[in-house]
Structure 1
Amino acid sequence: MRLWSVDPSILDRMALVACWREALLAQKVLDGGTRGYTRHPQLERFRARDEPLDAIGHYLASLHAEATARGYSFDASRIVRRDAASPGIPVTTGQLGFELAHLRSKVAVRDPAWLERLPAVARAAPSFVATPGAVETWERGVLAP
């Protein structure tokens, strides 16, 4: 499961579509609708909010807005809480840098033309607030500093 912390505007088509599907799954997990993925580390940041369904709803709404701007047809009726306010989830600048590098490596293989659209420094997605720091502790496959 990859719930990108970077602004959805920099995600290529495949990353945006996959993130939408995975965020819908995350919503289902947070709503108690499935027993799978309940301990996935990326869900920690949504669970830490007072209203986890509002947090994931805002996240999904931002993905939907980006998809709509690109002419894609994501079904907004699947968002349980689509009018939720931004949860202001903290995300470290180290995490944003890690995700941008990860996205860059994926895009280099599947859509090299998209590389020129990637910024030097990634902005946080609308549901997040960037804070100084290293890669998040919940990120898998990264050695601690």
Structure 2
Amino acid sequence: MRLWSLHPRHLDRQGLTGCWRESLLAQAVLAGRTRGYRAHPQLERFRAHAEPIAAVGAYLAAIAQEATERGYRFDLTRIDLPPDAGVQPAPIPVTGGQLALEWRHLLAKLERRSPERWEQARQIHEPEVHPLFEVIPGPVESWEREPGPRES
């Protein structure tokens, strides 16, 4: 499971659709609808949030917005607590070190599977962060597990 801290606009088609699916799974875990992935470290930052379901809803909404801008149709009814439901979650802090690690990881993926997108992305020196997150100084997050060759 990879819940990117990067803005969804940086993701290629596979990354965007994969992030949508994995975020829906994260939502199901946080809502107690599934037993799998309950201990996944990427969920720690959502669990620590005062409104975890609203936070994952805001996360999903930004992914869906990017999908819409690309002409895809993601089913917004799958978001348990969308931002228009009246709950505006506070930003989640993410360290600069975490963002840098994710950017390197994404660039490696793009180089393999989306060379044209990689050519554009490698020119970016400071990638945008997902709108739910707020960048703070610091190293890679404690919950991060170094990306392996199979991770999406």
TM above 0.5: yes
Find out whether 1:114 has 2:120 as its counterpart: no
In the other structure, the counterpart of 2:32 is 32
Choose which of 105, 114, 137 in structure 2 pairs with 1:102.
105
Find out whether 1:93 has 2:96 as its counterpart: yes
How far the C-alpha of 1:141 sits from its partner, in A, is 2.2
Q: Percent identity, aligned pairs only?
A: 52
Unaligned runs of 5+ in 2: 148-152
Aligned CA-pair RMSD: 1.1
The answer as to whether partners of 1:26 and 1:43 remain within 8 angstroms in 2 is: yes
Unaligned runs of 5+ in 1: none
How far the C-alpha of 1:56 sits from its partner, in A, is 0.2
TM-score, length of structure 1 as denominator length? 0.94
- The secondary structure found in structure 1 opposite 2:57 is helix
Which amino acid is the alignment partner of residue 131 of structure 1? I
TM-score, length of structure 2 as denominator length? 0.90
How far the C-alpha of 1:93 sits from its partner, in A, is 0.6
The answer as to whether partners of 1:86 and 1:126 remain within 8 angstroms in 2 is: no
Stretches (4+) displaced over 2 A: none
